[in-house]
Structure 1
Amino acid sequence: MKSTHQLYLTIILLMATTLLASCEKFLNERPSKGTSVLIQNASDLNALLENYNSFSQENNNITIHGTDDNGFSVALYNARPTTFTIPQIEFTLWDKTDLANRDVSDFSGTNFWTSEYNKVFNANLVLLHVDKVTGTAEEKANLKADAHLIRAYSYWQLATAYCLPYTEANKNEPGLPIKTTPDYEVPARSSLAETYQLIEADLAEALKITVPLVQNGKARPWRANTAAANAFAARYYLNRNDYSKALTYANASLSLYSTLINYNTEMSFGTASTVSIDPGTANARTVTLTFPYMHDREASFDPTDAFAWKELLYYRLIHNTTQWYIPSQSLLSLYDQNNDLRYKYHYTQGFSYRRGMTSPSVDYPGYVFFADTKILEGPTVAEMVLTKAECQARIGDFSGAMTTVNLLYSKRTVTGTAPLAAASQDQAINVILQERRREMPFAQRWADIRRFNTNNYANDDVPVITKTFYPYTPSAVQSTQPTQQYTLPANSRRFASPLPQTDINNSAGAIKQNTY
């Protein structure tokens, strides 16, 4: 945007977004709707960042479908082929060529690449104008820190999806087109090293924020805050395999806010639903599907429950348009299904019926959090506990690491369940990584596999992910042909997803596609 006129028109459009009435108890002040206001003071820029709908959703399909947490299978496909789309299958099997040409990274609407760059644009808008408006020095400083956190977070998400993992060998590989101003010029891709340098610089600025998570007795996780900035720093440095820094920032975040939810006393089922299966047969019956209480407003998603989730530090949700987080058998096998309350509340048995597999019936679970489509991605207290425990174990304090991880495990399992135990550093790391996978399925697994395969510790490597499926074309699955194996080996160039071809075409050659 190159004029004040364009600036305030952008703000007007964003302010006109209808915010859900059920969230009013969480918002002390709201931008007015549909009012033309010249941007003159810090509160006007604050209104832009207050619109959480512009920043919260992540249509990150490689994270949803591309790991060994995803249980898509030939058997499920055969049960009801129309449940699954070709793009979903392509993400599952790490197809690159057709996904780029399709340019439908979220199966409908704006792709992940574009949506994250929209967030970068808004952050850049604030950074460009914050020194030109009236307001206190503290207000301006916190707006800057907020915008830097948004930009760092989005560039990190983009790099994790579209670039190779950072290593010394990869640092000169293609990174991202770096945008630090809100204009429409399209820069070439920077190097991976330059991309990470910007993320770290933004992160350093974000850490200057002085706004606490809890204000006037209410948490405001949709905005940057001290606990969130430190939590993202912990996540970033964990993924850089810098365990000392990650531990420092995890401890800093936990020192600011450390509330954990006890699933024994604070978790419950919400409204159940019923489904009729196998009609007209001897097995015809009605089954009841159970969901955690946060799922009750699923039909018309209401972020109130996400804001009220006491562990949430920064409001970011993965959005899955296929409406089914399909857990793999390897993921399900990690749970103590009698005592782990996450298995009880977050895995809806018979979820496959909800996706149309009713006649003949096929019974398969689904992972559920806030809705069929939405799960946590933003940093949480639980993630910080796991980060602290992992870092303690990796730097040699495996006894302390087990004490830390059991702070979380005791809140997630039936009272009296034996704590997690380990007799060595290697055992402790393995136990903690299993707990990490149980606590954050789908959301962090893609990034975790990337870092496991590029650190100097062989025991956590994921040498290859293997899927079995039919051959397919861009338009059809060839289900009459024999199945074949699809693999994603460690350090494959397919750990960088293809950039949307439309954006490459629109760049007039400035942006280059990934090579495979």
Structure 2
Amino acid sequence: MKLYIITGIILLAGCKKYLEEEPKKQASIQTVTQLEALVDNAPIFYEEADITSVYSTDDNEITKDLYKKNPGAFTIDNMQYYVFSVDGLVGAAADALWNAEFKKIFTANLILANIENVTGDQAVRARVKADAYFIRAYSYWVLVNHYCAPYLEANMNSMGLPIKNTIDYTGSLKRATLKETYDFILADIAEAKKTAYDDVDPRRAWRVSQKAISAFMSRYYLFTGDYDKSIEEANKALATTTAKLVDYKTLIPGRSITYANPAVTLNYNELNDWVAAKFLYWSEFYYTRYIYNGSQWFIPSAALLASYDQANDLRYKNLMIPNGGRRFSVVEPATYRYTMFSDGRNAPSGPTVAEVLLNKAEALARKNEAGAAMDAVNILRLKRMSTYIALAATDKNDAIKKVLEERRREMPFVMRWYDIRRFSVNDHPADDIAVTRDFFNVSITGIDVNTPKTYTLDSKRYLLPLNGVEIDASKGQLTQNPY
């Protein structure tokens, strides 16, 4: 039942109200304009409440010294993700990512359930229908890359996700297989491809287009190991005349913030000041999606910071803020903060021109086309460096290494969790990533700073546990991942 709690047209305040009000609300949907308004309610769709990507990878680091001196800066719920807890997530009051993505899925299903029965322009109807299919496919892709085993032939019979393709609240919550889940995603993509819109609408980048689908599929095929198709789709997406790389040399200073005792001034660039009215229209997007970090503090690890050319890389200079912990009253130790948009709340996770170039580069590198891989990477670097320094690779392994390093620098936090999972099951052991934490003992109720403990992310924990509230509400239909 909790899979289908949504706001707006069909706000549910418990099962009783749902049963009483749903037929009435369904009857109120009369026009395609009403359904289009659901798609254009962008805040429902563009945010991903992905605490895992913020806290559970080697891009993040909370040292013992940082925590011990500033325990109030961290919630116990977020620290469960930091130490890869299972019990802490099962026992949490709710799972924000699971609920939010199924909310999007339900909204898509609501649109599809009504799209043929409403009045209105046929072209608008076709467009909204394609949007709904893409919304559903995208949310399933996010969910399958968090709660299910990584994509691998040997895993295809393992547990996937509940397939919800109707608004029937009594429908089964039994988990399909991983293969059935991926087949469902591809079937929705096939329907979304019927859109008549070829390129990104700069006024509404959250609407689907052929270029957005190709950008997404360049990601999909990279993750499933079909490098030829990933390159093919990347090339289609890169033919866009709307989405374009931003030259970071053109970024201007934003508001500076000064603190006392001791005195320090934090210098941000203009992007930090952007609110939704601006960042929804980030020109690099094929499709608008963001990881939302309510704590506003992406804490870059020492390894992530060291990966940049700190003298020339404008991503480091503009987005990695020295002493950024002062934003949260952290004086000691001086701690960096990664901030992109809206004072560190939002980081782009939807397909961008930068990502598509990196998808293409990685696929080429894995196909042993090192020179072409570097060409793709260097198109991006030209827009990211104060003094342009082209990358070159000596062979296939060197090309893969350099592309993946660039990928980490370009998309810290937002893609690292996905990459850790897929690297663990591909045929290139050199890209495997080990994540360990030298921290304190963390329980469901608190953190014992007198008991040091080392945590290691293992393959079983590549799958997020399903929240216990969801399992209980399913009355035995949802099955927990094995740990």
**Same fold at TM > 0.5:** yes
- Give the Cα separation in 2 of the matches to 1:249 and 1:317: 22
Amino acid at match of 2:372: G
**1:46-96 CA-partner distances (Å, limit 9, x unpaired):** 111111011111111111111111111212112211111222111011100
The within-5 A match list for 1:390-405 is 390-405=362-377
- Give the Cα separation in 2 of the matches to 1:245 and 1:150: 22
Structure 1 residue runs without a partner (length 5+): 2-8, 15-34, 106-110, 278-284
Seen in structure 2, the aligned counterparts of structure 1 residues 12 and 180 have a Cα distance that, compared at 3 Å, is closer
Q: Does the 8 A contact of 2:83 with 2:442 survive in 1?
A: no
Amino acid at match of 1:188: K
Counterpart in the other structure of 1:108: none
Match 2:33 to one of 33, 40, 43: 43
* Alignment: residue pair count: 463
The within-5 A match list for 1:89-108 is 89-105=79-95
Match 2:360 to one of 385, 388, 400: 388
- Give the Cα separation in 2 of the matches to 1:37 and 1:189: 31
The within-5 A match list for 1:362-511 is 362-370=333-341, 371-415=343-387, 417-462=388-433, 464-481=434-451, 483-489=452-458, 492-511=459-478
Alpha-carbon offset, residue 137 of structure 1: 3.9
Counterpart in the other structure of 1:153: 138
Alpha-carbon offset, residue 316 of structure 1: 1.0
Matched, 1:171 2:156: yes
Q: Does the 8 A contact of 1:261 with 1:310 survive in 2?
A: yes
Match 2:269 to one of 292, 295, 298: 292
Q: Does the 8 A contact of 2:295 with 2:345 survive in 1?
A: yes
Q: Does the 8 A contact of 1:42 with 1:134 survive in 2?
A: yes
Match 2:234 to one of 211, 228, 250: 250
Q: Does the 8 A contact of 1:353 with 1:362 survive in 2?
A: no
- Give the Cα separation in 2 of the matches to 1:13 and 1:224: 25
User: Tell me, what secondary structure is at the counterpart of 2:263?
Assistant: strand
Amino acid at match of 1:60: D
Alpha-carbon offset, residue 214 of structure 1: 4.5
User: Tell me, what secondary structure is at the counterpart of 1:271?
Assistant: strand
Q: Does the 8 A contact of 1:152 with 1:202 survive in 2?
A: yes
Counterpart in the other structure of 1:352: 325
Counterpart in the other structure of 1:328: 301
Amino acid at match of 2:179: A
Alpha-carbon offset, residue 356 of structure 1: 1.5
Alpha-carbon offset, residue 307 of structure 1: 2.6
- Give the Cα separation in 1 of the matches to 2:81 and 2:29: 42
Counterpart in the other structure of 1:20: none
Higher deviation after alignment, 255-264 or 54-63: 255-264
- Give the Cα separation in 1 of the matches to 2:382 and 2:374: 12
The within-5 A match list for 1:175-324 is 175-185=160-170, 186-215=172-201, 218-257=202-241, 258-264=243-249, 266-277=250-261, 285-297=262-274, 302-324=275-297
Fraction of identical pairs, as percent:
40
Counterpart in the other structure of 1:29: none
Amino acid at match of 2:192: A
- Give the Cα separation in 2 of the matches to 1:423 and 1:78: 45
- TM-score by length of structure 1 reads 0.86
- TM-score by length of structure 2 reads 0.92
- Give the Cα separation in 1 of the matches to 2:10 and 2:437: 47
- Give the Cα separation in 1 of the matches to 2:8 and 2:453: 50
**1:324-367 CA-partner distances (Å, limit 9, x unpaired):** 10001111111000000000100111111112212xx3211110
Output the aligned Cα RMSD.
2.0
Q: Does the 8 A contact of 2:163 with 2:176 survive in 1?
A: yes
The runs of at least 4 aligned residues of structure 1 exceeding 4 Å deviation read: 212-215
Q: Does the 8 A contact of 2:65 with 2:333 survive in 1?
A: no
**1:199-242 CA-partner distances (Å, limit 9, x unpaired):** 11111222222224454xx4421222222111111111111121
Alpha-carbon offset, residue 36 of structure 1: 12
Alpha-carbon offset, residue 133 of structure 1: 1.9
Q: Does the 8 A contact of 2:256 with 2:268 survive in 1?
A: yes
The within-5 A match list for 1:47-66 is 47-66=37-56
Structure 2 residue runs without a partner (length 5+): 2-6, 13-24
Amino acid at match of 2:406: E
Q: Does the 8 A contact of 1:341 with 1:412 survive in 2?
A: yes
